[in-house]
Structure 1
């Protein structure tokens, strides 16, 4: 094979590498699912996973491998199409349309949420406040940010926006908050009001839920257990895009993008700018929407902890915060 058609993978997700290592040489991996400017998605042969080949500046995510070879990536991107076959051509090398990508020397990326140790479980208002300042200055509003501001009384009215999604997001946030405070199965039910809500490859409501799942995973909040029901993932597949469904499936199992992993690992640090800026590279509004989910879940836990500490009942939120 010509050297022009052989590229190297710089980084590979640990889950993906382990899965590939278990395959036999020349095994069929899957078929091309979708092709974008910096990303090529591959649906595994058993349709259980979505693999991604991406350029180096894309934020690392579960089941992703990345290359610094922009020339070969662009050449491949211009020639491949959904349905094209992807296979192992030999050990540590995948082949797509006569182009080979070798990951022998690739560094390994871990996208698993780290559980907090006891010294990291202290919640403060500084963390969500820093996120809010960041997204107000640099984030992009899909309608979810405006809805969240209204919901948290940071915006007094909806006259400042004409976004058609604001009312839908606002109602969904109210329902989720009420269900979380009651700590019952209604959380799962009302999450469907967010699944698929918005536009894009990963709709805003799904990005929001990923942010929530990341926080709940990190702090071992029992709410995350509700989302592990097989029925929920199956319903997500019916209500949203396939890319979103795989994103949320990974999130339920504790696997999220590198930006979320790094941010939650450092939630107690004073200067979060280094860990917030990568979110600007995630989709048009996806990074902002994920951060709103992080704020929402984090503040809900903080409110509940404060109420319990002060002896208030779970539904005494307004009295406690007054």
Structure 2
């Protein structure tokens, strides 16, 4: 038996039947028969916590791809997930601790956010320049490198951002990760910025019309974002962009995001910086 160490706040507590949708070395995605939670993930503790994922120490049992196949059936009863595969995996989710969400934003200190955005852009540029052998000095330059579509004014043509759905390669395309970053900022700003909720809803409507242009996994994370649900690293980075007063705290949060996936963290961070620059700082 394996113990689940953490769980997302949207993880199901009721019984379900499901099948493995996709499997990777240290994670798998599951399609369930639940209406409210049609998608659940099992992730290694070294991967980023999400609202619909249980985390376990999968590193201790080796590569999941050698033991689990797409289409393998499983079920959860009484908090126990049992996977019918060569691994015969049994996971106790009752042991999982729910990870803490970032608190709501109460005020905006424009000087602080401008300073933190500047430091974050420098870290993004340094990371991309080192990883891709490119000279990137700002989020705008990185977004241009990705070939993403931006409106002339986010307040007038925010729906054009949805043209980025499915743009780019990977498990979650760059355009989708960028949109999640934008939505995460607007979601955080809704209580303190009068136009944030209106912008969020305009972008949400446009994304819902075209969400079938991306793959199932990415569509799942986009759908969560449309209802104000984001991963642990994204929530806490945005919180610290508004509140951090020391470089070390911010550096820790930024690097935690940049290290997500092959480029997902950088692409999401580009969306966060784009939104902050164009909604608050310009």
TM-score band by shorter chain is 0.7 to 0.9
How many angstroms does 1:8 deviate by?
0.8
Q: 1:101 aligned to 61, 82, 91, which one?
A: 91
> Are the aligned partners of 2:26 and 2:58 in contact in 1 as well (CA < 8 Å)?
no
Deviation for aligned residue 1:277: 1.3
The aligned residue for residue 55 of structure 2 is 66
Deviations 1:117-159 (A, max 9, x none): 136677632122111111112235699x68954499xxxxxxx
- Aligned-partner Cα distance in 1 for 2:138–2:108: 33
Counterpart in the other structure of 2:124 = 135
Matched-pair contact (CA < 8 Å) for 1:142–1:204: no
What residue in structure 2 maps to residue 7 of structure 1? 2
- Give the distance between the partners of 2:138 and 2:253, measured in 1 at CA: 24
Structure-1 separation of matches of 2:133 and 2:276? 21
Unaligned runs of 5+ in 1: 1-5, 153-164, 305-322
Paired with 2:267 and 2:14, the residues of 1 have a C-alpha distance of: 36
Counterparts of 1:33 and 1:51 in 2: how far apart (Å)?
Answer: 10
Map 1:269-280 → 2, pairs under 5 A: 269=244, 270-271=246-247, 272-280=250-258
Secondary structure of the equivalent of 2:164?
A: coil
TM-score computed with the length of structure 1 as normaliser: 0.74
Aligned to 1:249: 223
Q: How does 1:173-188 map to 2 (within 5 A)?
A: 173=150, 175=151, 178-182=152-156, 186-188=157-159
Report how many aligned residue pairs link the two structures. Answer: 265
Aligned residue in 1 for 2:193: none
Q: Does 1:232 align with 2:221?
A: no
Residue 166 of structure 1 is aligned with which of 122, 145, 152? 145
- What secondary structure, in the 3-state scheme, does the structure 2 residue paired with 1:34 have? strand
Name structure 2 gaps, 5 residues minimum: 191-195
Counterparts of 2:65 and 2:141, CA distance in 1: 42
Mark the structure with the bigger radius of gyration.
1
Aligned position for 1:83: 71
Secondary structure class of the residue paired with 1:293: helix
User: What's the secondary structure of 2:49's corresponding residue?
Assistant: coil
Aligned to 1:22: 14
Note the 1:27-66 alignment, pairs <5 A: 27-28=16-17, 30-46=18-34, 49-66=38-55
Shift of the alpha carbon at 1:7?
0.8
Identify the residue that residue 156 of structure 1 maps to in structure 2: none
